[in-house]
A and B are shown apart, each in its own frame.
Chain A
């Protein structure tokens, strides 16, 4: 399994499947006229309509405070829209039962802006967490986790608790935790916000490899330099609560 991940992500010659435009292809995410306000405040997001296709790659961008994190939280089902319609993996999210929400979350990998690593668990345990909560035995995933940790350059930091890790190391641990289940959709919130430009470039490469292996990737960032490194990527730009799409 681990070698599969690494093989898939690593094989450069794997041909990228072109985004399908046919309506028959099941979409990963679909928003229709979605609006959101926090409490009684003004609408942060207004009439948001877009879709995320399988095996696609997009940057979600816009100035700080534009609502990028909020949009990702809507996809994660951590927020309910105040109006509009959201579909995840072709399911209307308002009809999902508790168990189905869990099942959908297992198909999504998330890298939070503030990492959200559990401070009392080692790096190894943090990265293994999604497999552990599925009820898998530790021996069944050990090799897989260790291999991924080595691959993101944390092989020597396995025993360490997150508070001891540097910003870049935490970033990579958070990314490894999102990748370990080979998600169909990867959401990353400012994944290069805490690292130097060199590491940022390497992390972007990692996401691109993941995308080539078949995962839909959404990277929220306001780093224009980062986006310039992948010219072909789709851009979803938030401004004044509205979304503008540049394919």
Chain B
């Protein structure tokens, strides 16, 4: 029972109670569908990071591929009646080799050419009688500007009949278009995943606001600014976003590490060679992992700021 007011007026501030709870969040964590949102954000982050990682792998592989291929030119010398193919090929190689930008011009030997045709014609064939063209593989100097190809082509054709020169340009262009298409598709998927996640966060924020209507009212009456109330919501959603984003990014990083380990084990097998030639190894470099970690962290931050903005706008429109 309370004693008379006047009796309790004695200033009696003793030591404060030790176990005084004083920093409970104003919006209770239990009022927000936290676990469901963390799972949604984790899955979305995982998908976004997977898409981004795959796009980086493909872009990297196609870049490496294009670089090595663009440093090569192939010269083909077709046999013409009445001429010594061997000598013609050597002549062409000498002409190409004289160009300053060329590092090396090597004529594929007859044996090498036969080896190249083996998959189609089978082994043990004597190709001596067949009119098989000879190839000259030309390697350009690294870092040097491309040589004047039309001039080179003209010089070759003038001196060696039945010669053709291929700088793989068409092929490179097609490869580039393919790689770019894949990267664009990945960017679209990434954007869609992020948009879907933004909607999930928006729904969760609205739900949390509706569920905490009474608390928001009381906060307004005791003199809280909209800004203050909005940051109370942000506290929760930032944490949920960081947890979900962190979980999703960690899963994605683990997935790429596993894929890298499996592919390097596979690389030891013969079929692995072809796979590696096509995609490089599945190893994401440290920048790739950093990008995934960055995606996870940004998703957490954006989740927090977004729900804060939604709450703020909603409160503003209320009045």
Binding site for B on A (CB under 8 A): 2-3, 6, 10, 12, 76, 78, 98-99, 101-103, 105-106, 110, 116, 118, 120-122, 124-125, 128-130, 132-135, 138, 142-143, 146-147, 150-153, 158-159, 172, 177, 181, 199, 202, 205-206, 209
Contacts and interface: CB of A to CB of B under 8 A. Distances in A.
> Nearest 4 pairs between A and B by C-beta?
A153-B2, A133-B224, A106-B223, A130-B222
Interface stretch (B10-18, B45-53, B277-285): B10-18
Nearest to B226: A98
B221 A76 contact: yes
Contacts of B6: 10, 12
B20 A124 contact: yes
B83 interface: no
A205 B7 CA distance: 13
Nearest to B232: A133
11 contacts: A98-B316, A99-B225, A102-B223, A105-B221, A105-B222, A118-B26, A121-B26, A124-B21, A125-B22, A129-B222, A152-B2
Main secondary structure of the interface of A (DSSP, over half): helix
Contact of B8 (A3, A118, A135, A150): A150
Contacts of B16: 142-143, 146
B123 interface: no
A6 B11 CA distance: 8
A10 B24 CA distance: 32
B36 to A, nearest CB: 20
Contacts of A142: 16, 20, 22
Contact of A158 (B13, B17, B26, B225): B17
B223 A202 contact: no
Contacts of A103: 223
Contact of A116 (B23, B217, B224): B217
B219 interface: yes
Given A135-B228, A153-B3, A209-B5, A147 B11 contact: yes
B22 A6 contact: no
Given A6-B9, A101-B319, A151-B9, A120 B223 contact: no
A133 B223 contact: yes
Contacts of A101: 319
Nearest to B228: A133
A120 B228 CA distance: 18
Interface string B207-221: 000000011011111
Nearest to B215: A118
Nearest to B4: A202
B146 to A, nearest CB: 65
A98 B9 CA distance: 38
A159 B20 contact: yes
The residue in B5, B8, B19, B221 that gathers the most chain A C-beta atoms within 10 A of its C-beta is B221
Given A118-B26, A133-B219, A146-B13, A159 B8 contact: no
B28 interface: yes
A132 B23 CA distance: 10
Contact of A159 (B19, B23, B26, B217): B19
A98 B229 CA distance: 14
Contact of B20 (A152, A158, A205, A206): A158
Nearest to B12: A150
Nearest to B223: A106
Contacts of B222: 105, 129-130, 133, 177
A153 B8 contact: yes
Contacts of A99: 225
B319 A98 contact: yes
A6 B9 CA distance: 7
Given A76-B221, A102-B223, A116-B214, A10 B20 contact: no
Nearest to A12: B6
B168 to A, nearest CB: 66
A80 B219 CA distance: 19
A120 B9 CA distance: 29
B213 to A, nearest CB: 12
Nearest to A147: B13
Interface string B299-314: 0000000000000000
A138 B23 contact: yes
Contacts of A129: 26, 218-219, 222
A121 B215 CA distance: 11
B218 A116 contact: yes
Nearest to B219: A133
